[in-house]
Amino acid sequence: MNDFAAIFKDYYSKISDNNEEVDLIFNSQLNNKKFNVLLKESLPKDRNTNYTQCGIHKDDVLLKMNNHLIKKIGSQGQQKSFLIALKLAQFEFIKNNIGYAPILLLDDIFDKLDDNRVLKLVEFVKNKNIHQVFITDTHELRCKQILDKTDIEFSIYTINNGQIENA
């Protein structure tokens, strides 16, 4: 998790114009007790509820900004930047661990971002030499205008009544 968090922090600082301190904290019951102890302690309640109260299904990653949960204090733009940094970090982490670049999907990710931040993200993706990117967006014209400002080769497709059309 530490390797991933370092990649994430680097991406967040590059795509954000602000100087927020961000962090990913892995929260697990196993940080405090051994699994066999947890199972023994939770057995009576497990029998009552018919499911286990401990284990990896209870693990969580806390998404923090300035030592607070991002969902509590972050603006929509900050939360979107956080999400983008997570996506890019995930992409790089997978690429580094499997040896080749996966396809990057940016699904409706530009919604809460201003054009400047979108252009910055597109340029950043281009400079990282990410070869295949699929972008979905509900604003075709905006997307085209931003991509036209770059020297990126792109194609735009629309879906109308379930049919894919080259725009």
Which tens digits make up the pLDDT trace of 3-53?
999 999 999 988 876 678 999 999 888 888 899 999 999 999 999 999 998
Which parts of the chain are beta strand (E)? 22-27, 60-65, 68-69, 104-107, 133-136, 157-160, 163-166
**CB within 8 Å of 26: residues ≥ 6 apart:** 1, 59, 60, 61, 62
Structural domain total, the chain: 1
- Res 1: pLDDT: 81
Nearest CA-CA partner of 89 in 134, 31, 46, 130: 130
Please say if the pLDDT value at position 161 is more than 80. yes
Average pLDDT over residues 110-119: 78
What digits encode the pLDDT tens for the residues 131-157? Answer: 889 989 888 888 888 889 888 889 999
User: For the chain, how are helix, strand and coil distributed in percent, rounded to 5?
Assistant: 50, 20, 30
- CATH number of the domain within which 148 lies: 3.40.50.300
Q: Identify whether 17 is part of a domain.
A: yes
Distance in angstroms (rounded) separating the CA atoms of residues 5 and 25: 8
Q: Which domain holds residue 137?
A: 2-45+55-166
- Res 18: pLDDT: 67
Q: Identify whether 24 is part of a domain.
A: yes
**CB within 8 Å of 130: residues ≥ 6 apart:** 91, 101, 104
Q: Identify whether 50 is part of a domain.
A: no
Q: Identify whether 8 is part of a domain.
A: yes
Q: How confident is the model at residue 164 (pLDDT cuts 50, 70, 90)?
A: very high
What digits encode the pLDDT tens for the residues 43-83? Answer: 999 999 999 989 889 899 999 999 999 999 998 888 888 99
Q: Identify whether 116 is part of a domain.
A: yes
More confident position, 47 or 115: 47
Q: Identify whether 150 is part of a domain.
A: yes
Distance in angstroms (rounded) separating the CA atoms of residues 165 and 154: 15
**164 burial level (CB within 10 Å; 0-12, 13-18, 19+):** exposed
